[in-house]
Structure 1
Amino acid sequence: MSFKKGVLHPVNPATARGAATKLSSSKDKIVYTNGRSVIIRDLSDPAVSIAYSGHVQNTTVARISPTGYYCASADVLGNVRIWDTLGDEQTLKGEYKVLTGQVKDLEWDGESKRIVAVGDGRDKFGHAFMFDTGSSTGEIIGHSKTVNAVSIRQQRPFRAATAGDDASIVFHQGVPFKYDKTIKTHTKFVQDVRFAPSGDHFASVGSDYKIFIYDGKTGDTLGEVTDSPHTGSIMAGSWSADSKSFFTSAADGTVKLWDVETKKAQTTWTLGSGVNNQQVGNTWTAGDSIVSLSMSGDLNVFDKRVGDKPARVLYGPQKAITSAIKAPSSDSTFIVGTADGRALAHTTEYEYVGGEAHATLVAGLSASPSGIVHSVGLDDRLREIEGSSFTPAQFSTAAQPKAGVAVGGDSTVFIAEVDTVEAVRSNQKVFDLKPKYAPSAIAASASFVAVGGEDQKVRLYTWDGKTLTESATLEGNKGVVSALAFSPDGKLLASGDSSGKIVLLDVAERKLVTSRWSFHTARINSLSWTADGRHCASGSLDTHVYVWSVEKPMKNIALKNAAPGGVNAVFWIKDGELASAGADGCVRVWNVTFHA
């Protein structure tokens, strides 16, 4: 058996209310952060994405050097890591502690040699340094509060502009960078400042709804853009490649394109009202894609020739994927449930599952023979997904369904709750079981239902359409049973536990087949069988995925570090194509080859 990496389906950017999210771009790629990951995403080819997960703390901003060879990314504790963007290894070039608090923004100079990082700190709010040695290249001073943004003129003589919560912009000459003057044009927080690619101008935007244009060499204020103003805090601004146009994204749910020479609005796009449509970040790619980020995490891609709505919207998870399943009605579609209650379906790109979603974490997904997908959430509700939408039908569970959901052969839905197992058909309870143990996992196949317990045992029940009758107690696990999966023919049952051990059980004989599937070092979160029932994949909190062989129990494939933070779900998209998803919100596809 062997494998190779396939496609990465990335998480969307993280957002926070009232704060700007920094996006950047390099050629046709956009760069952003979510959790501990840095995502480099190609807009022209959705299949080309990179997820870098070298940070120990949550990341805040990332920018690729002008040469395209390196990326600098920063985190909430003031660390900046410089790493190689070429190849699969993403080799670390250097790591530097630049501030005592969160880094809010950073920028490369035009020679890809120097970096200025700004943010929060006790002794200073900015630091200028060489990317390869970390040695200082000047002073970033002049602010009395957190600095939100920095931009460097890409041509010599270098200049740097920083913008902060003290409602001021500080202009620095360089290199080495040194204080030149403080610009007091804004009256509230300055959210973003950007130099034009030509270096002739730079612009600033702020929470006072204002936009100002300045001379790129001297820092002199050239004027305010007053035409057709925004009515909410302007969170980000970005320039076109020819430096003639500038666009802004604001919390009023609008994106505006400006002509720099006339200072007039050329186009206004309105995304809608409400918090989710607030625009909190943007970038203008070299390929002329205008990208603005909604508070909901949606990436809106605009065509400057069309002033109506986005040309396309890139949807995706914003939080950890807590459960995932292949859609039974399609060969290539899969559905994911996330920690914030969303459900998304992916065929060629992500789309939200329509209708009212769960209010909080999706605890389990399971498909019925009829093609309906059932979901349970920690909002104590059972929902149905039919096609691309939630149906209006729902069932309120008796207790929190933390142990998951499974569907039997007659389409009865079994929900494992804190102290109960409920059987539901047509959103009506038909039976409930009050076991003496605490249920911790559930699986169903034809008339069999397996329930794992916190007492490290698996109970096998038979279902006659009316009652669950216990038929056997299966032992062999060394921890709380955390995942169960029947083979497609129902003859074998894989049982994973909190110690990382998986035991394979014969359902008819009620006996142990093997206990040698024990290479994981932490809780098993998910199990998935191949269609022929000869191999089983497992995903664990230890971040690894293993593919096990029934015929040769000692043979396995180890997919190491498949999801930073832990693998929460594994599923087979089709023969030889395995997907894993987890805490970082990304879905990774692996091409697995089984040798004869």
Structure 2
Amino acid sequence: MKLDFKFSNLCGSAYKQGNLIFTPDGNCVLSPVGNRVTMFDLVNSKSETFPFEARKNIVYMALSPNSQLLLTIDEDGRALLVNFVRRVVIHHFNFKGSARVAEFSPDGMFVAVAVGKRVEVWKTPKLNKEFTPFVLHRKYSGHYDDITHISWFWDSRFFLTSSKDLTSKIFSTDPIPGFIPSTLAGHRETVIASWFANDKTTIYTVSKDGAVAVHKFNLYDTQEEIEFGTFPVNSETGEHLRTQWSTPKHHYFKQVGSKVRCAFFNSSTQILLAGFSSGVFGMWEMPTFTELQTLSISQNKLTAAAINPTGEWVALASSKLGQLLVWEWQSESYILKQQGHIYDMSYVAFSGDGQYVATGGDDGKIKIWMASTGYCFVTFSNHSSSITAIQFTKQNQVVVSASLDGTVRAFDLVRYRNFRTFLSPTPAQFSSVAVDPSGEIVCAGCQDSFDIYVWSMQTGKLLDVLSGHEGPVSSLEFRPDGVQLASSSWDKTVRLWDVFDRGKSVELINHNFEVLSVTYRPDSKQMCTSTLDGQIHFWNTFDATQAGSIEGRRDIAGGRRQNDLRTAENSSFGKSFNSLCYSADGSVVLGSGNSLYVCLYDVESAVLLRKYQISSNFSFDGMHEKLNSKYMTETGPIQQIDSDHDASDLEDRLDKSLPGAQTGDLSKRSTLELVRTRCIRFSPSGRQWAAATNLGLVIFSLDNTLHFDPFDLDTNITPETVLNLAKKKEYLRSIINALRLGEHAVISTVYKYIPIEQVKIIVKQFPSKYLLRMLSFVCTVFETNCLLELNLTWINQLLINHGSYYSSNSTSTKPVLRDVRKLIFRVHSSLGKLCDENTYELLRLLTCKLPETTDYEE
């Protein structure tokens, strides 16, 4: 089995903090999710999380005008310069200060960065290798407080800064004779943002209290006329003429009881967008300040806003809910509406075909995601407390969930409704759930009464109550053949129940510590359990004898927390596995817990094969192995102190989370979270695995586009010889040598050379050791090329002529066959829908009557 799982995507976390960016074509929006960046493709309905990570949470992003460079800045002022096309980090840089704003100039030559009270203008780095990518152009000062916004003039000669000192300033990129930086005042609160208007003679500034000031300049002590649309510069001498700025108008948003949190101005369409602390956003057309639209989209404050270049779509985000939406204001419809779980994600489950991923959270919501696109397409909010377990039925049409609210619910994925609710005779909190392979029996374990309840899926009636555990039931799972039910408990036992036997025979497996998880191998011959002491035990299912064990305390252990009085080695926190999962072939087992690591073990040798790190975000606690005393103060860790005074306003300090609270806690305290992985699951194909963490749904997958993956390679096999064989119409030798070479591009070229009528002849002579590799390649290119008939012909002939090979080697071929089934089902459904639409359209056209023609005589 391959072990090179790499980070693939991050779902369930649409927005964390920072700004939003539209790409220049307006089809994609970039959103910061912690220390990563996610791009939402609004046209193709896909999301992609970039593989690179910043050191801490990203607070600002800037994209170059040609979409080649992406600059991200984290909380410590450390920047990453990224090749946006290839998603590769080019350079790391430290601005050595609180950098919160950065903007590229319109010509792409400079990038202005606000570091505290000053502005640093750097020359834009090039894509080729440079000895010093960041070269400082100039430094600017003059503000008395932190800068909040930077905007450039259209020709990149001037830029405008806004600050918390209630003013805005105009600076020139290069020294201009006679030019003196101008200061624009007149606001009573922090200036959120300021921009140059489209007429190039007006500046708009927006303050936190909802005031919009219109600034215009007049020539000072001169009667010389200037050309319309330019700043006052003498065309003959090049000197800057003396100007005097005035504020002829003030506009007000008139949102009573709320303040402006974010604003954006589209200079091409002259539309001003503002988001307020009440969850309301509004759009106004400048310079007339005509209200276009006002809408409430959230109950919490909006923290980021953006408009695409054409002015059609509006992107808004709220950091408290992690909500991101794109609104088409002219048609008043949503283009994108994504929101993760408000609190931590607690459970994850894959559907049988691997197309869907279900997640449950502590907010009581269940979300269903498309595994291929990363989009959430349905959310169930029927539960009123935390979700503890989720499972798909065999037909993938029903999702069963257990919750601490005392209910087990079944959701229909065809009609998107809760069609069955299972209750216990006495109120109980359910901690686990299991559905038998036939989908007829539902079992749920309790954490307070220690019983296991059994219901019928069809009738919803309680069939049986399994008693015997003396502690909370931590995990339940049916054996894949459906004969047995295994339950683990904190009473240090695992019980094997025969649910369908009237005698209710129970087999007991004792452990030395509390059992946290239990799972079966896909072939039903082995069972795996994890205990509180950090060990993983393997058991034979037929005679209940122990087959081996793994000591995993050191493997799963995390770092030291800031308030720990002992070292990480002597701490017992997070040194156990809360979730276990076998791979599709049963050769390896994956384990996770309250740690930032996920461990992959080989079952036969009981050896640690690979340890994956979920995140490298130092904004979380427990990331360091050792603590540094310079970050410790008399009042506690320096990270918990609000040094930026972001909570200086009263509404930021109020905590009204408790029912009936009027004032709340006026002294805001901040604590750092720990990275926790509460559930982990392999996909049915074995090509990827997903982890339910407090970061979101983290997905790791194998790279299907390996450029060089040789198999049975010979020195005489080169790309040139392979292509020459294909040109000579020696198709069998060319495709076999291409598979042996392992280069994806060469295999694709030979694959397209082979005529469809030759596929049947070639497959009959195919060597058996290349069959699995060939079928895997066809599945890889199925969704990327447009050769539908060729792909289906290859799959059909491989299965017809060599079906006995795939059935006899089911352990290794089962993941690939599941991929084939998923692809065929997807093509069948899409083509069927297209054919139905064409049929209905033809019938409609045939039934339409042509208008009668009338001849008019002159």
Smaller-chain TM-score range? Answer: 0.7 to 0.9
Contact preservation (8 Å) 1:495, 1:503: yes
- What corresponds to 2:260 in structure 1? 234
Contact preservation (8 Å) 1:448, 1:460: yes
- Of 584, 588, 595, the match for 2:699: 588
Alpha-carbon deviation of 1:237? 2.5
- What corresponds to 2:708 in structure 1? none
- What corresponds to 1:323 in structure 2? 347
Q: 1:15 and 1:547, CA in 2 relative to 1: closer, same or farther beyond 3 A?
A: closer
In structure 1, give the amino acid aligned to 2:120.
A
Identity of aligned residues (%): 14
What are the Cα deviations for residues 264-323 of structure 1, in whole angstroms up to 9, with x where unaligned? 23x326355x615x64421123465523325444433233542x2334434444654321
1:362 aligns with 2:360: no
1:491 aligns with 2:525: yes
Alpha-carbon deviation of 1:471? 0.9
- What corresponds to 1:313 in structure 2? 337
- What corresponds to 1:452 in structure 2? 488
Matches within 5 A, 1:167-566: 168-175=166-173, 180=181, 182-194=183-195, 202-214=203-215, 220=245, 226=251, 232-240=258-266, 242=268, 244-251=270-277, 253-265=279-291, 267-268=292-293, 270-272=295-297, 275=299, 279-286=302-309, 290-295=313-318, 296-303=321-328, 305-306=330-331, 308-317=332-341, 320-327=344-351, 332-347=355-370, 348=373, 349-359=375-385, 361-368=386-393, 371-378=397-404, 381-387=407-413, 388-390=416-418, 393=421, 395=423, 401=430, 404-408=432-436, 411-417=441-447, 420-425=450-455, 426=460, 430-431=464-465, 433=467, 435-437=469-471, 439-445=473-479, 446=482, 448-454=484-490, 458-463=494-499, 470-473=506-509, 475=511, 481-497=515-531, 501-515=535-549, 520-522=555-557, 523-530=576-583, 533=586, 536-539=589-592, 541-545=594-598, 553=605, 558=610, 560-562=612-614, 565-566=675-676
Contact preservation (8 Å) 1:480, 1:498: yes
Higher helix proportion: 2
Contact preservation (8 Å) 1:539, 1:580: no
Contact preservation (8 Å) 2:398, 2:410: yes
SS at match of 1:39: strand
Contact preservation (8 Å) 1:372, 1:384: yes
Alpha-carbon deviation of 1:70? 4.1
SS at match of 2:206: strand
Task: Tell me the TM-score normalised to structure 2 length.
Answer: 0.56
Alpha-carbon deviation of 1:590? 1.4
Alpha-carbon deviation of 1:180? 4.1
In structure 2, give the amino acid aligned to 1:268.
Q
Q: How many Å separate the matches in 1 of 2:309 and 2:12?
A: 23
Q: How many Å separate the matches in 1 of 2:252 and 2:514?
A: 64
In structure 2, give the amino acid aligned to 1:160.
L
Q: How many Å separate the matches in 2 of 1:460 and 1:334?
A: 28
In structure 1, give the amino acid aligned to 2:613.
N
Q: How many Å separate the matches in 2 of 1:424 and 1:60?
A: 50
1:570 aligns with 2:604: no
- What corresponds to 1:43 in structure 2? 42
Contact preservation (8 Å) 1:321, 1:585: yes
What are the Cα deviations for residues 33-84 of structure 1, in whole angstroms up to 9, with x where unaligned? 33343334443444452346634544333333445444333444x4332232
- What corresponds to 2:81 in structure 1? 83
SS at match of 2:421: strand
Q: 1:437 and 1:98, CA in 2 relative to 1: closer, same or farther beyond 3 A?
A: same
**Number of positions where the alignment pairs a residue of Structure 1 with one of Structure 2:** 570
Contact preservation (8 Å) 1:61, 1:74: yes
Answer with 485-494 or 2-11: which moved more: 2-11
- Unaligned runs of 5+ residues in structure 2 are 124-132, 218-230, 232-242, 558-575, 617-674, 705-771, 774-811, 813-858
Higher strand proportion: 1
In structure 2, give the amino acid aligned to 1:510.
A
Q: How many Å separate the matches in 2 of 1:41 and 1:538?
A: 31
- Of 94, 103, 109, the match for 1:107: 103
Q: How many Å separate the matches in 1 of 2:531 and 2:245?
A: 66
Contact preservation (8 Å) 1:520, 1:542: no
Q: 1:209 and 1:488, CA in 2 relative to 1: closer, same or farther beyond 3 A?
A: same
What are the Cα deviations for residues 9-31 of structure 1, in whole angstroms up to 9, with x where unaligned? 54444468xxxx53223334423
Alpha-carbon deviation of 1:93? 1.6
In structure 2, give the amino acid aligned to 1:512.
Q
What are the Cα deviations for residues 195-241 of structure 1, in whole angstroms up to 9, with x where unaligned? 56997655433443333444696894666574986565333222336
Q: How many Å separate the matches in 2 of 1:153 and 1:88?
A: 29
Larger Rg: 2
Q: 1:404 and 1:260, CA in 2 relative to 1: closer, same or farther beyond 3 A?
A: same
In structure 2, give the amino acid aligned to 1:33.
P
Higher relative contact order, structure no. (Cα contacts within 8 Å, ≥ 6 residues apart):
1
Alpha-carbon deviation of 1:510? 0.8
Alpha-carbon deviation of 1:532? 5.7
Q: How many Å separate the matches in 1 of 2:411 and 2:283?
A: 39
What are the Cα deviations for residues 353-387 of structure 1, in whole angstroms up to 9, with x where unaligned? 2343444x433222355753232345565443332
Q: 1:204 and 1:393, CA in 2 relative to 1: closer, same or farther beyond 3 A?
A: farther
- What corresponds to 1:121 in structure 2? none
Contact preservation (8 Å) 2:527, 2:541: yes
Task: Tell me the TM-score normalised to structure 1 length.
Answer: 0.78
Alpha-carbon deviation of 1:181? 5.2
Alpha-carbon deviation of 1:580? 1.3
Q: How many Å separate the matches in 2 of 1:579 and 1:543?
A: 15
- What corresponds to 2:114 in structure 1? 117
Answer with 32-41 or 526-535: which moved more: 526-535
SS at match of 2:139: coil
Contact preservation (8 Å) 1:5, 1:591: yes
Q: 1:416 and 1:301, CA in 2 relative to 1: closer, same or farther beyond 3 A?
A: same
In structure 1, give the amino acid aligned to 2:694.
A
- What corresponds to 1:162 in structure 2? 162
- What corresponds to 2:143 in structure 1? 142
Q: How many Å separate the matches in 2 of 1:451 and 1:567?
A: 21
- What corresponds to 2:93 in structure 1? 94
Q: How many Å separate the matches in 2 of 1:404 and 1:49?
A: 32
Contact preservation (8 Å) 1:408, 1:448: no
